[in-house]
Structure 1
Amino acid sequence: MSTENVRHINIIGHQNPDTDSICSALSYAWLKNGGSLMGKYEARRAGHVNRETQFVLKHFGIEPPRLCTDVSPQIKDIDIRHQPGIDAEMSVRAAWNMMRDVEIDTLCITDAEDELQGLITIKDIADANMDLFDTGVLAAANTSYHNLLETLEAELIVGDADARITEGHICIGTSPEIMEELVKPGDLVLVSNRYETQMCAIDCGAAAIVVCCGSAVPRTIVARAQEKGCAVLATPYDTYAAGRLVTTAAPVRHFMRTHDLMKFSVNTPIEDARKIMASVRHRYFPILDENGKYCGVVSRRNLLNLHRKRVILVDHNERTQAVDGLEQAEILEIIDHHRIGTLETSGPVYFRNVPVGCTATILYQMYQEQGVTPSQQIAGLLLSAILSDTLMFRSPTSTPQDEATARALAEIAGEDIPSYAEQMFEAGADLTGRDAEDVFRSDFKAFSRGDAKFGVGQSIYMTDKSRAAAEALVGPFLPEAGRREGLPMIFYMFTDMKTQSTDLMYWGSHTEEIVRDAFGVEPKDGVAVLPGVVSRKKQLLPPLLAALQARQGE
């Protein structure tokens, strides 16, 4: 199988990805591909790379994964018919023969660079053939003599095959008496083997004569044609057949559709394509590749043979945190360290959920199980994820296994944990040039419990000053964030890593009462101070969920 036909399996973390989400996707892809970030398994990201993660990737010289916010099926996920494009100069006759031979009713016209020029359908050809009175079509279409020779299977006796028909009409020569009034200078005349009609057509100023029935052309006719500048073609077809065929020598560009073409990109969602296809009558539609070049056609029938996107989820198993279109994708694996949430799969999957502080810790277990040592770069990514998720082992979610794993990875990566962690956290806390939305989305997740839906964000800071600046920036944005996310409640943690405390801000109906019930504190000016609370997963979510459940039961 060529590399072009290999269907990638996307390894992807949650929306608004944090360092663990990005680094775990990259590290698992490296393991799955046998020591390479390139291959069948591809790491993807479901949102913007925050500043902490940007620092990590730059520090270890790794490019961010490509963005993927929707795994709904696209045109690229069906069997596209790779029908080659045709040249605009191809004759209508040749196009019709091709349609018949390959059993297709639409051909796409492309240039030498595979740029789509237009398309022609069998209906367009039928309409052209039924226009019996268009005797000037060859001139109007600037038809080449090459096309004429090919269509009539003719031999060129006199003339230039590279010349074009630029004027005149098509006539059938019967007798000299009629021809003298019928034939005009520049016309194309179909003649029989009668010497008189051949000579008369030439003398009337015909641009070309077509001698039918495979008749030999006398030398005197050849000489006269050369003298008058008249092309002479000899065809094996009789006059009737030649008369039927001759107009089909016109190039397809004269009849092709060029305006408002119904075409799709390989990235067009299937649902969008299906709606458009239902609005028009023809069957086949051109497809453009990632570079906008023609690459084939697709029909309604192709939409039935759909290959769902295949994904591996890391660092989440909540539907509200996943990329769009997940219900239309095939989930192969889930590697996570969070509570088991609302996600459903269509069949059994490999699901590895371990109560540790970071997904990267689980991945390193898998490296060891397979007898694989990560490279210095990948070890650095895994280390960064663990330091980030466990707040350098200060978080209550951190386990001895996380710390032991981080120290082993630090040896491979060649990093001093305290020094490197401080650089990483400082980079993440830097507010220079950032707006409220950027800071808000740096680590934000949506959750649901029963009928209640809410979001929890968290930012981690090394100093009181940077934390206060972030609160002043993000606090006024919370109502707008709730509207944009479509969530009735927002909670946001501003965590000071050195003092091991969190300022919790909130927005939404009854959120102040929920915070009061959950943590037993009295908020002041829209902020609840939570000493010792640093973990969203272990210290914030359980009390919040309990308070929400209690209110639902009232």
Structure 2
Amino acid sequence: MPHIDMQRKVNVIGHRHPDTDSVCSAIAYTYLKNQLGGNCEARRAGQLNRETEFVLQYFGAQPPRLCTDVRPQVKDIDIRRQPGVDGDMSLKAAWELMRSVEIDTLCVTSEQKELLGVITIKDIATANMDLLDTAVLAKARTPYRNVLSALNGKLLTGSDSGVIDKGRIYIGAASSDAMEAYVHAGDIVILSNRIESQLYAVECGAGCIIICGGVTVPQTILTRAQEKGCRVITTPYLLYDVAKLLSQAAPIRHYMKTEHILKFNLNTPVEEAQKVMASVRLRYFPILDEEGLYCGVISRRNLLNVHRKRVILVDHNEKTQAVDGLDEAEILEIIDHHRLNAVETVNPIYFRNVPMGCTCTIVYQMFLENQVEIPKRIAGLLLSAILSDTLMFRSPTCTPADEAAAAALSKTAQVDIPAYAQQMFEAGGDLTGKTPEEVFLSDFKIFSSGEVRFGVGQSIYMTEKSRAAAKKLIGPYLQRVSVQQGLPLIFYMFTDVPNEFTDLMFAGTDAGEIVASAFHVQPEGQTAVLPGVMSRKKQLIPPLMAAVQERIK
């Protein structure tokens, strides 16, 4: 078994419309890889059939998570983990943060990391240009802590825990008499060292006076300010500087964008994100995790370094049977027992293809080769897949290696093969509450021969009653699925395990003639009886392929 860099997760996945072998080989091979130090996760490419559901429940195994597309997602990009900021942050602090970390967008979040808004450097520049709004600090309910921070100030009276909720900014450069006419209750007054102006501002009901130049404030002013409930702040900056800096104390929540925010989540396809980014003139976009909470930002630059999803294919090697987006994924390994119609890979890979009845037999041998102990649960899954794919050793694809593996696994799983197989096949044949589509797609694969594509489904039945019920349910559906799947030919195998034959139902142009030519039988209506035919892979597909190719010629 090859060594693989497992820092990033690897998806181990079977074919579309997964059967028991596809699912169980994914789970078992994932367990083996992880025991050897890997970072793998078993996935499934479609809905589970009832046989597989029975197997997983019987041995207490969790169904793999669904994965129908392996195209890159936002989670496969190097996301910039820029922390969210508090909405009370001042414009000045936000601008300084943007400069220090070289980013032009900040995401405002709650303590629980909920995305509340977004502010850009353009928003800050626009806010700083609005010089005539002297009530901006009150409108924005600016915390006094922001004022102290912006002015490098020191609070001499009052508390820094409050917010500015009324008043305007006034520069007290005029005479004291003139100031009385302009200063109103709650105003913020910027002053120099003129004591009489300071006192007048306090007496006029100012909510806060700011003394510039780092001068000492007389105790009489402080005492009167305390009595009037007026905060006194001193700052080393001169009056002109304070006038410029004060509006930058406003909190960014007053300016941030809160509606129609362009954002993505971790599962957003990269292709979709690229289209959105190309349509707007923004540089950074917030990212939300699976719980809808903020986790970082991405930019167009991040899209240049997309990490392909890493996959290991089990129980198939054909692109037509694989999940969507396989061309955009990195295939690391293929473990299979079917005919070769291998997908293209960028690099050389580990490809193990053995003519056995079941992929899980190959996986079992890999456990032995790597001297990894097989737990009871995994043994049960491996055994179930072998019994399913070999039709309890009746299929012509079954090999001595399959039978030997099953015998050994049955001891570890502590099950009696005949009794357990009977339960498993009966569970798979149960049609209660099933729609024709669900039954048909439970084990359905698409094959191609030249320019012709056709689909073949199969169901396994232990009793004549369940097989007849399935034929009655699926028969009328075949023509419709041919149109839905865009396939000119559709075949469905109703396989009778105890009596070892298959009723083959078909639909499509010349389907009857193709069946007659392939199997030398005379179909009746839309069905042909194929004695001894049990295996889709070995007994059905090769003759069908030959007949289709001959038809094309």
Name the SS of the counterpart of 1:308 in structure 2.
coil
Distance 2:521 2:44 in 1: 37
Q: Which residue of 1 aligns with 2:48?
A: 49
Distance 2:352 2:470 in 1: 36
Q: Which residue of 1 aligns with 2:492?
A: 492
Worse-superposed segment, 191-200 or 123-132: 191-200
Structure 2 residue ranges without an equivalent (≥5): 1-5
Distance 1:208 1:372 in 2: 75
Identity within the alignment, %: 62
C-alpha deviations, 1:149-177, integer Å up to 9, x for none?
Answer: 11111111111211211111111110224
C-alpha deviations, 1:235-256, integer Å up to 9, x for none?
Answer: 1111111111101111111111
Q: Say yes or no: does 1:91 pair with 2:90.
A: yes
Which AA in structure 1 matches 2:313?
L
Distance 1:150 1:220 in 2: 26
Which AA in structure 2 matches 1:8?
K
Q: Say yes or no: does 1:541 pair with 2:537.
A: no
**Superposed counterparts of 1:227-306, under 5 Å:** 227-306=227-306
**Superposed counterparts of 1:474-553, under 5 Å:** 474-553=474-553
Name the SS of the counterpart of 1:108 in structure 2.
strand
Q: Which residue of 1 aligns with 2:186?
A: 186
Q: Which residue of 2 aligns with 1:80?
A: 79
Distance 1:372 1:228 in 2: 81
Distance 1:90 1:71 in 2: 40
Q: Which residue of 2 aligns with 1:158?
A: 157
Distance 2:514 2:200 in 1: 103
Q: Which residue of 2 aligns with 1:203?
A: 203
Distance 1:342 1:9 in 2: 20
Distance 2:437 2:40 in 1: 32
C-alpha deviations, 1:324-365, integer Å up to 9, x for none?
Answer: 111111000000000001511112110010011100111111
Distance 2:386 2:340 in 1: 20
Name the SS of the counterpart of 2:26 in structure 1.
helix
Q: Which residue of 2 aligns with 1:26?
A: 27
Q: CA deviation at 1:181?
A: 2.8
Q: CA deviation at 1:203?
A: 2.2
**Superposed counterparts of 1:356-371, under 5 Å:** 356-371=356-371
CA RMSD in angstroms comes to 1.3
Name the SS of the counterpart of 1:57 in structure 2.
helix
C-alpha deviations, 1:236-291, integer Å up to 9, x for none?
Answer: 11111111110111111111111011111111110011111111111111111111
Q: CA deviation at 1:376?
A: 1.2
Q: CA deviation at 1:6?
A: 4.1
Q: CA deviation at 1:485?
A: 2.3
Distance 2:469 2:355 in 1: 34
Which AA in structure 2 matches 1:498?
P
Distance 1:441 1:178 in 2: 87
Q: CA deviation at 1:373?
A: 2.9
Q: CA deviation at 1:184?
A: 2.2
The alignment of Structure 1 onto Structure 2 pairs a total of residues equal to 547
Which AA in structure 1 matches 2:233?
L
**Superposed counterparts of 1:444-459, under 5 Å:** 444-459=444-459
Q: Say yes or no: does 1:10 pair with 2:11.
A: yes
Q: Which residue of 2 aligns with 1:408?
A: 408
Distance 1:377 1:46 in 2: 22
Worse-superposed segment, 125-134 or 474-483: 474-483
Q: CA deviation at 1:515?
A: 1.5
Distance 1:161 1:196 in 2: 25
Distance 1:88 1:16 in 2: 49
Q: CA deviation at 1:35?
A: 7.4
Name the SS of the counterpart of 1:424 in structure 2.
helix
Q: Which residue of 1 aligns with 2:133?
A: 134
Distance 2:66 2:10 in 1: 14
Q: CA deviation at 1:486?
A: 2.7
Worse-superposed segment, 454-463 or 505-514: 505-514
Q: Say yes or no: does 1:399 pair with 2:394.
A: no
Distance 2:213 2:368 in 1: 83
Distance 1:201 1:414 in 2: 91
Distance 1:481 1:94 in 2: 62
Which AA in structure 1 matches 2:60?
G
Name the SS of the counterpart of 1:483 in structure 2.
helix
Q: CA deviation at 1:111?
A: 0.6
C-alpha deviations, 1:96-137, integer Å up to 9, x for none?
Answer: 111111111111111111111111110110010011111111
Q: CA deviation at 1:191?
A: 0.7
Q: CA deviation at 1:205?
A: 2.0
Distance 1:314 1:142 in 2: 61
Distance 1:327 1:358 in 2: 26
Q: Which residue of 2 aligns with 1:122?
A: 121
C-alpha deviations, 1:293-319, integer Å up to 9, x for none?
Answer: 111111110111111111100000010
Which AA in structure 2 matches 1:187?
D
| TM-score, length of structure 2 as denominator length | 0.97
Distance 2:250 2:509 in 1: 72
Name the SS of the counterpart of 2:373 in structure 1.
coil
Q: Say yes or no: does 1:429 pair with 2:429.
A: yes
Name the SS of the counterpart of 1:33 in structure 2.
helix
Q: CA deviation at 1:141?
A: 0.6
Which AA in structure 2 matches 1:248?
Q
- Misfit runs of 4+, over 6 Å: none
Distance 1:250 1:481 in 2: 63
**Superposed counterparts of 1:324-473, under 5 Å:** 324-473=324-473
Which AA in structure 2 matches 1:295?
C
Name the SS of the counterpart of 2:35 in structure 1.
coil
Distance 1:211 1:420 in 2: 89
Q: CA deviation at 1:484?
A: 2.8
| TM-score, length of structure 1 as denominator length | 0.97
Distance 1:240 1:479 in 2: 83
Distance 1:532 1:213 in 2: 102
Distance 1:195 1:448 in 2: 94
Q: Which residue of 2 aligns with 1:107?
A: 106
Which AA in structure 2 matches 1:214?
G
Distance 1:222 1:208 in 2: 12
Distance 1:123 1:484 in 2: 51
Distance 1:272 1:63 in 2: 32
Distance 1:177 1:126 in 2: 36
Which AA in structure 1 matches 2:490?
I
Name the SS of the counterpart of 1:490 in structure 2.
strand
Q: Which residue of 1 aligns with 2:3?
A: none
Worse-superposed segment, 302-311 or 505-514: 505-514
Distance 2:516 2:385 in 1: 32
Name the SS of the counterpart of 1:361 in structure 2.
helix
